[in-house]
Structure 1
């Protein structure tokens, strides 16, 4: 209860006073073992760091949030009801990735092969494969179809010649 109360109380404070209170709430919730509330507090802390322009800390907290959500097998991010400017799940997911992983994830979600991604991003195919392994682990997916779904990308339409052949 103490951790939850601290998280809620932090939401009533000025933006610059939220992170210390939320960090304390995270510590309390971590010790309590309440992963659901811990994920809520981390999401609020991520939001505060993002609004304050502290992208490095926001990214670190997003990674922790995603890790806890995956451990809880949660499908949806925890969100405060009525909170303004709360990031969408795909934005939180993308913050958990490095810049290079983001570029590879976007290309893979568009349907490019590993070799095509490597050529486009001037990487080796092995590097693309390593990035995809880390992306899949961080986002809790096991296929490109799941990656597309997780990132909110529509699957690429079949090649026009293939559509004619199937008609």
Structure 2
């Protein structure tokens, strides 16, 4: 099976916007991770920041298709203080055996921040097949959307095949 699933954890909506773009452009299904301790009316960052710094997992709910049913899983996550958020860490830990081919999109606060690649590779026991990092400022501009498109096209290029009517053969 050559299918792709996008799994997102979003605190501010930026990661969710990337997941929506990948879904819109490629038709990939999206699963979303929710931190069960988060409260929309009180979105304080102290607990999530401490969880990330201390490498703690969070109780989560995952809504979406089973990751093990897909050949590739694209993980879209913000970074907190240079670490994967506790909710994403819990998801990766729980689904470790199902995540054979992983691509990562990291959202950084600044260009000096660290991407999720080293930490996710350590959690899964293997390196990702592809990754991209974005800053919040970059995603606010048109250049960020273009780079998200390029990331998706790298994983599953758009078909440029032309169907030949007489033979049924295709040509690129």
TM-score relative to the length of structure 2: 0.28
| Greater relative CO, 1 or 2 (CA 8 Å, sep 6+) | 2
Q: Which has the higher strand share?
A: 2
Q: Which has the higher helix share?
A: 1
TM-score relative to the length of structure 1: 0.28
Larger Cα Rg: Structure 1 or Structure 2?
1
